[in-house]
Copies of this chain bind each other. A is one copy, B any other.
Amino acid sequence: MCRWLTYCGEPIYLDSVIFEKENSLIQQSINARRSHVTTNGDGFGIGWYAERPVPGTYRDILPAWNDANLRSIAHQIRSGLFMAHVRASTGTATSRANCHPFAHGKWLFMHNGQIGGYDRIRRKIEALVDDPFYVHRLGTTDSELIFYLMLSMGLDKDPMSAVQKSLAAVVELMRQAEIKEALRFTSVFTNGTHIFAVRYATDEAPPSLFWRYENDQLLIVSEPLDDDQRCWHEVPAGQIIVTERNTRVDMVPFLAA
């Protein structure tokens, strides 16, 4: 399972939450090397909004804890809205094109979970993606594919509807193919002004999703960065967090259409 965080608040240097804290994302990865949990050594990525209309990304296939470029870039770049992701492959190849976050136009997207029976319906899902988005598909993962599906379903105009339609379409294709495995989709995506975080699955095991809002800083994470039970809110399954930068967090039920 991958680990990730999204930060929204006053601009801070990326390394302050990715590297520096006792419970930073990289520290968690390093701890994962020494503990019960799966190691996240199959690549990483960061995406951030600075002064340009589109976000920047840096993704590579080395273990994040050993990447001097990541360390330097995260030390230099300051952002009020960014994502970081460390990957534990579920089977697809380790390549830059398969690393999160995925970027397109002003959007960033990252994802935990999987499409059950993906190999059997991959092409049918690909057929639902519009050509202008499909030409940008560089990898082979279900995560990247769902992102382009969401863009095709109108992410720019109505994000909530786009993600619902996308998951509904996938679920329908899974049903037609009589796939027994579940669709699991815990995801964060943003256009630079609004942030969406969904926790959803067709079974009882959607990947975890937490958030914390303190001192005008919102953190949305796959797992809490520290053990302080009071400050982390778990997002229940079937819910979606919606927030605009610098406003309060709303949580609403999420139905895959």
Q: Which residues of B contact A257 (CB under 8 A)?
A: none
The contact of A73 among B41, B56, B63, B135, by CB within 8 Å, is B56
Residue of B nearest to A33 (CB): B39
Q: Which residues of B contact A97 (CB under 8 A)?
A: 93, 95, 97, 140
Q: A34-B38, A56-B73, A58-B73 are in contact. Are A94 and B63 (CB under 8 A)?
A: yes
- Best-surrounded residue of A34, A68, A89 (most CB of chain B within 10 A): A68
Cβ of A69 and Cβ of B75 under 8 Å apart? no
A72, B104: Cα distance in complex, Å: 12
- Tell me if A142 counts as interface (CB < 8 A to partner B): no
Q: Which residues of B contact A123 (CB under 8 A)?
A: 126-127, 129, 131, 134
- Tell me if A120 counts as interface (CB < 8 A to partner B): yes
Q: Which residues of B contact A58 (CB under 8 A)?
A: 58, 69, 72-73
- Binary per-residue interface labels of chain A (134-164) against chain B in the complex, 1 for a CB within 8 Å, 0 otherwise: 1101111000000000000000000000000
Q: Which residues of B contact A35 (CB under 8 A)?
A: 36
Cβ of B95 and Cβ of A95 under 8 Å apart? yes
- Best-surrounded residue of A39, A61, A93 (most CB of chain B within 10 A): A39
Residue of B nearest to A92 (CB): B138
Shortest distance from the beta carbon of A53 to any chain B beta carbon, whole Å: 10
Cβ of B52 and Cβ of A68 under 8 Å apart? no
Could you list 6 further interchain pairs (A-B, Cβ under 8 angstroms) beyond the known A56-B75, A58-B73?
A: A34-B36, A57-B69, A57-B72, A73-B73, A97-B97, A122-B134
* Residues of A in contact with B (beta carbons under 8 Å apart): 13, 32-36, 38-39, 41-42, 48, 50-52, 54, 56-63, 66, 68-69, 72-73, 75-78, 88-89, 93-97, 103, 119-120, 122-123, 126-127, 129, 131, 134-135, 137-140
8 nearest A-B residue pairs (beta carbon): A41-B41, A56-B76, A39-B39, A66-B94, A33-B39, A119-B135, A56-B72, A95-B95
Q: What are 22 inter-chain pairs, A to B, with CB distance below 8 A?
A: A33-B38, A33-B41, A34-B38, A39-B41, A42-B63, A51-B76, A51-B78, A52-B76, A56-B75, A56-B76, A58-B73, A59-B68, A59-B69, A63-B94, A66-B93, A68-B96, A69-B96, A93-B138, A119-B135, A123-B127, A123-B134, A127-B127
